[in-house]
């Protein structure tokens, strides 16, 4: 009886540990994706501000909205 209880507890602990490991792996994967997305965003913003594309885009948006209102 005692052996059965110990075996059941060990199986349950192993199952819980496996699920926790998978959660940790998923969290790490999300973190890596976020770091990659942030790096791409920084590169894009650096390029856009250096080339004047953001100022052009904002000017174009304001002009378009002003023309729609008139």
**Predicted confidence band at 38 (pLDDT cuts at 50, 70, 90)?**
very high
pTM for this predicted structure: 0.48
Asked if residue 39 lies in contact with residue 32, where contact means CB atoms within 8 angstroms, the answer is no
Asked if residue 43 lies in contact with residue 36, where contact means CB atoms within 8 angstroms, the answer is no
What's the mean pLDDT in 53-69?
89
Written as six digits, the tokens of 27 are 């969290």
Q: What is the pLDDT of residues 41-56, one digit of tens each?
A: 999 888 878 888 888 8
Percent of the chain residues past pLDDT 90, beyond the cut: 24
For residues 58 and 49, give the distance between their C-alpha atoms in angstroms, rounded to a whole number: 12
What's the mean pLDDT in 13-32?
71
On the question of pLDDT at 16 being above 70, the answer is no
Written as six digits, the tokens of 56 are 């052009």
């Amino acid at each position: 009886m005692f052996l059965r209880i110990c075996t059941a507890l060990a199986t349950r602990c192993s199952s819980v540990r496996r699920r926790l490991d998978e959660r940790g792996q998923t969290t790490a994967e999300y973190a890596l994706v976020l770091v990659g997305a942030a790096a791409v965003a920084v590169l894009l913003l650096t390029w856009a501000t250096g080339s004047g594309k953001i100022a052009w885009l904002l000017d174009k948006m304001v002009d378009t909205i002003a023309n729609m209102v008139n």
